Chain A
Amino acid sequence: MDIGETRQDGLLVLRPVGRIDNLTSAVFQDRLLVAARAGAADVIVDFTEVAYISSAGLRALMAASKAKPKERRIAVAALNSIVGEIFAISRFAEVIPVFDTVAAAVAARDEASRAPLPAAPLRVHFWGSRGSLPAPLGAAGVRAKLRDALLAARGHDLKTPEAVDAFIDRELPFSVGGTYGGNTSCVEIVTGGEEYVLCDLGTGVREFGRKLLAEQGPARKHCFNVFLSHLHWDHVMGFPFFAFAYIPGNVIRLHGCNEALARAIRNQHSEPGFPVDFASLPATIEFVELTPGRTYQVAGLSVLPIQQFHTGESYGYRFSRDDKTIVYSTDCEHKYSVLDESYPFVHFYRNADLLIFDAMYSLADTVSVKEDWGHSSNVIAVELAQAARVKRLALFHHEPVLDDQMIEAVLGETVRFEEISRDGHKVEVISAFDGLDLTI
Chain B
Amino acid sequence: MKASLGLRGDGAELGRLLGFAEEFARRQSLPEAERSRLLIILEELFTNTVKYGYPEGAAAAGRIEVGLAVTRGRLEIHFSDNGRPFDPLSHTPSGPDRPPAERPLGGLGLQLLRSLVDEARYRRERGRNCLALVRNLGAPG
Contacts and interface: CB of A to CB of B under 8 A. Distances in A.
Interface residues of A, number: 23
A54 B112 contact: yes
20 contacts: A19-B39, A21-B14, A22-B14, A51-B32, A52-B36, A52-B39, A54-B39, A54-B40, A54-B44, A54-B109, A55-B112, A56-B109, A81-B33, A86-B40, A86-B112, A89-B112, A89-B115, A90-B100, A92-B100, A94-B101
A59 interface: yes
Given A59-B108, A94-B99, 7 more contacts: A52-B39, A52-B40, A55-B112, A56-B43, A56-B47, A89-B115, A91-B99
B136 interface: no
Contacts of B99: 91, 94-95
Interface string B12-47: 001100100000000000001100110110011001
Contacts of B11: 22
Interface residues of B, number: 24
Nearest to A52: B36
Contacts of A55: 44, 105, 108-109, 112
Given A23-B14, A54-B43, A95-B100, A90 B108 contact: yes
Contact of A94 (B36, B100, B111): B100
A62 interface: yes
A58 B111 CA distance: 12
Contacts, number: 65
Nearest to A63: B105
A162 interface: yes
Interface of B: 11, 14-15, 18, 32-33, 36-37, 39-40, 43-44, 47, 92, 99-101, 105, 108-109, 111-112, 115-116
Contact of A51 (B14, B36, B108, B115): B36
Interface of A: 19, 21-23, 51-52, 54-56, 58-59, 62, 65, 81-82, 86, 89-92, 94-95, 162
Contacts of B111: 89-90
A22 B108 contact: no
A110 B38 CA distance: 39
Nearest to B11: A22
A58 B32 CA distance: 21
Given A19-B39, A23-B15, A95-B101, A82 B33 contact: yes
A22 B112 contact: no
Contacts of B116: 89
B15 to A, nearest CB: 6
10 tightest A-B contacts by CB? A55-B109, A52-B36, A55-B108, A89-B115, A82-B36, A54-B43, A91-B100, A95-B101, A54-B40, A94-B99
